[in-house]
Chain A
Amino acid sequence: MPPHTSATSTVAADTAQAPSRKPAPTAVEGGSFQKIAADTSRRGSLIVVWIALFILFGLLRPDQFLTVGTLQTIFGSQQALVFIGLGALCAFSVGEFDFSVAAVAGLSATLVAVLVSDQGVNVWLAALIAVAAAVGIGAFNALLIIKIGINPIVTTLGVATLLTGVSSRISNGGSVFLDSPELYKVAATNVLGLPISFYYGLALAAIFTYVMTSTPLGRHMLFVGSNRSVARLAMVRVDRIRVGAYISSSLLCGVGGVLLVGTVGGFDPASASTYLLPALSATFLGTAVIQPGRFNPAGSMIAIYFLATGIVGLQLLGFAGWISDVFYGSALIIAIVLSTLFRRDRRHS
């Protein structure tokens, strides 16, 4: 027994006990049923709410909501948003911000229409020019943010405003129109009841998911997004990945713009900014699902169609146009609150 027991009455008796290398109390208890159940319910909570929304609208407006037409509206009208949202996700997932996404898509759509309708440029060449312009804007963002070191929020908001103005000048202030059966075919051919670009969106999300979860690049992006210093010290080429994120973001938005104008047959440059908030809402709301607390493409996709379901349902219930702003705005706030809570939880789990 330790010699000091005589002097101290409260020394615990088991001081000489064999190695007590118990796991720290903060230890994560692996594999318990409750934990898995809790985890699954959290991963899927948005999906549950989504299904509940379907049931609710179905009960309230059975004849209007539960129709093929409504489903086609929900799933067939979000392609531009999918490309813009996943573009924004490129930046978010490496810890950057790109608020120029919607404006880039808008410029791209405007360019295609103006080049083809007013300048008589071949539609494919016009699409190529639009996408190339988008990539150039991504590179410009990257130059300002990474090489010069300007705050990304200020930079991309500035660029967004600039591009909106430029689009408006190119289109002479009004809407632009495009009559191109070839582009329509590529963008909107009906496949199993939905425009083909819906499947482009799915494919894009699948590729994005693969990159993030199963490739060294995705792993590097994860670390650049969570701790740049750790990534740099592990010889990850941090700046290259950041530049790549801005360029990919703009690239996807450029393509999204081309598909948008091809599907709709026209574009109002002033409407570009209306895509920004839904895209942000969806990407943030997406962090509450599939991989809680983390930006993930599958989550963003689910969030996009969840939001579309809500908007369409509310409109069928007779709410006017204002509802979409209220809905997207509150979804963004709820999404940020949830993602913050999940992150905190992840830190202390």
Chain B
Amino acid sequence: MRSTDAHPHRDPVETGGAGGGTGSNGARGREVVEIKGLTKRFGRATVLDDVDLTIEPGEIHALVGQNGSGKSTLIKILSGVYTADAGRISVAGHRLATPVRPADLREHSLAFVHQDLGLVDDLTVVENVRVGQYTPGRLSRKIDWARERRLAEETFARLNAEIPLDARLGALPAGQRAVVAIARAVQGQRPGSGCVVFDESTQSLPRETLPEFYAILRSIARSGTGILIVSHRLEEVMSLADRVTVLRDGAAAATGVAVSDLTEAELSRLILGRELAGGRIAADPGATAGGETPDVAFEAVGVSGRTLQGLDLRVHRGEVIGITGAGDCGLDEVAAIVGGTSSACAGRITVGDAAFEVPVTDAAALHGAGLAVIPQNRMADGLAAEVSAIANLTLPRVRRRGRAFLSRGWQHEEFKEAVATFGITPAEPHAPAAAFSGGNQQKLLLSKWLLNAPRVLVACEPTQAVDVGARLDILRALRAAADAGKAVVICSIEVQDLAVVCDRVVVLRAGRDPVELGGEVTADAITEATYA
């Protein structure tokens, strides 16, 4: 349904039917970014198929889709990493040559804030903001720091943010770090022009910093700059964006639809191409593991860390328990402490019949007692990117399966089982872990530890950067593990997910005792307990 207009920038074509007038300040006229018929193939796979996308001045436009739907390919073409096979990109009415050159991006005020924010912890704020833009003195070739500081200050002032310019970046709280990344992206732009692309930028931000982050985005948009956010969080898209473009299997399932015309359920249906089975994932009534009085499989007594305070937790077989919290509550420490890889902690934990003083000195014994921890950072701690899927899957069991010889049979059986249970695609045992999409990597990681038959499974952010479909598969798998008699603990800031699957949720609170929510746990109740 593409228009074949020969003069796109003289006579802008409205691609989204509901597009006009949705810009938050009603700014009309030429698009800041116009993408037409963008197509990209890798070998025989078409990863982007004739995709259109327009961003108007002053609007917040969301780009959504499952992992592997083509979002990141589109962003990579826009930022010049890939070359498109067909289609054109115009910024502020100027058609860009492909591959897109950094100089063009700068000239036309198209800026990017990437997922990891791209900051250097050891440098100061001003160094981080100005990197790549330093202007040396004409004769001395020295950096004029007074000038650099002034420019950085001006940018922060534009964002209504006050950040100490000489602070070491690593010492800043996460929210301020995000502001630094935004400042670096927008500093070169004339206020009210251009476009900023936020590529999963909220992924690494703690939840409590999000309102501030959103406020900055809105104020940038109000000034007339266009904003494109790439996001997995539907609630974020629903509350923040004006329009949304949905990619599915490389093609646009919706182009520039006004968010006000959609419900979250409709949006997830557009993303998935099918109905999302909603509602709680409850325990299988037939699987009351452990009989009438379920055993306590895991117990934590007075566990504390650097910020974690006095966590008491008792998890029975067959239970799924959530742990969440905001700010300096110690949520990020739980897995390391419980898994025996942290040293700055105190307390006592019990796995099955084995009791351990915290900090645990013998992580292998803890492991042997039946504890499995699924780390938060999938590719840093969970899977080795360049190693085959099957080797990653079987790693925890190779020693147990024999000292002298590593036979292939059981490994292939395990891979088959993982594929059958989780629907891992591609079912290609020797493909390196990096070749799988985020959701499939997470499934692989989950199978790696579930196949270890643990008593207790502690999963950290198991649905992080995972698309909607895989998210449900993963939550169901965690419930199924509990039904099979394991005790499951999920540490996550995704309150929706916790509400869907958990029997109880422990909310950690900075400087105060944790609260435990039982019964029908709702997302609202968790959020309320978090910020109350």
Contacts and interface: CB of A to CB of B under 8 A. Distances in A.
Interface stretch (A22-30, A64-72, A255-263): A22-30
B254 A12 contact: yes
Interface in B1-57: 1, 15-18, 42-47, 52
Interface string A183-226: 00000000000000000000000000000001110111011001
B386 A226 contact: yes
Contacts of B363: 235
Interface in B412-432: 423, 425-426, 428, 431-432
A11 interface: yes
Contact of A227 (B1, B270, B385, B403): B385
Interface in B372-386: 373, 375, 380-386
A16 interface: yes
Interface stretch (B155-163, B230-238, B391-399, B508-516): B391-399
A288 to B, nearest CB: 15
B423 A8 contact: no
Given A28-B435, A348-B434, A18 B274 contact: yes
Nearest to A12: B253
A21 interface: yes
Top 3 nearest A-B pairs (CB, nearest first) are: A24-B68, A9-B17, A227-B384
Q: Which of B43, B44, B382, B399 has the most CB of A within 10 A?
A: B399
B525 interface: no
Interface in B105-156: none
Given A4-B262, A223-B395, A11 B253 contact: yes
A234 interface: yes
A10 B44 CA distance: 26
Q: How large is the interface on B (under 10, 10 to 19, 20 to 34, 35 or more residues)?
A: 35 or more
A72 B434 CA distance: 45
B269 A219 contact: no
A21 B404 CA distance: 40
Contacts of A214: 405-406
Contact of A7 (B261, B364, B436, B469): B261
Contacts of A231: 384, 395
B75 to A, nearest CB: 15
Given A18-B274, A219-B395, A235-B367, 8 more contacts: A10-B254, A15-B253, A25-B47, A25-B68, A28-B431, A218-B406, A230-B395, A233-B373
B249 A22 contact: yes
A229 B395 CA distance: 13
5 contacts: A7-B258, A227-B385, A230-B392, A230-B395, A233-B341
Contact of B249 (A20, A229, A236): A20
B257 A8 contact: yes
Nearest to A27: B426
Given A8-B17, A8-B254, A12-B248, A347 B434 contact: yes
A15 B270 contact: yes
Contact of A25 (B46, B258, B405): B46
B384 A230 contact: yes
Given A25-B68, A28-B435, A30-B428, A3 B266 contact: yes
A222 B435 CA distance: 18
Interface of B: 1, 15-18, 42-47, 52, 67-68, 70, 73, 248-258, 261-262, 266, 269-270, 272-275, 339, 341, 363-364, 367, 373, 375, 380-387, 391-392, 395-396, 398-399, 401-406, 423, 425-426, 428, 431-432, 434-437, 440, 469
B254 A17 contact: no
Contacts of B375: 233
Contact of A26 (B18, B404, B423, B437): B437
A234 B253 contact: no
Contacts of A232: 341
B36 to A, nearest CB: 13
A215 B403 CA distance: 7
Nearest to B270: A15
Nearest to B404: A215
Contact of A234 (B273, B396, B401, B403): B396
A31 to B, nearest CB: 9
A235 B399 CA distance: 10
Given A11-B270, A20-B274, A220-B399, A215 B426 contact: no
A119 interface: no
Interface in A5-50: 7-12, 14-30
Contact of B269 (A2, A230, A235): A2
A222 B491 CA distance: 30
A27 B527 CA distance: 38
Interface in A218-273: 218-220, 222-223, 226-227, 229-236
B364 A226 contact: no
A15 B395 contact: no
B266 A2 contact: yes
A343 B432 CA distance: 11
A157 B341 CA distance: 33
A2 B44 CA distance: 32
Nearest to B267: A4
Contacts of B256: 10
Contacts of A229: 380-381
A232 B435 CA distance: 23
A339 to B, nearest CB: 12
B386 A293 contact: yes
Given A20-B274, A23-B426, A229-B380, A9 B1 contact: yes
A61 interface: no
Given A10-B252, A30-B426, A216-B398, A226 B384 contact: yes
A30 B389 CA distance: 14
Contacts of A230: 381-384, 392, 395
Contacts of B266: 2-4
Contacts of B384: 222-223, 226-227, 230-231
A317 B92 CA distance: 64
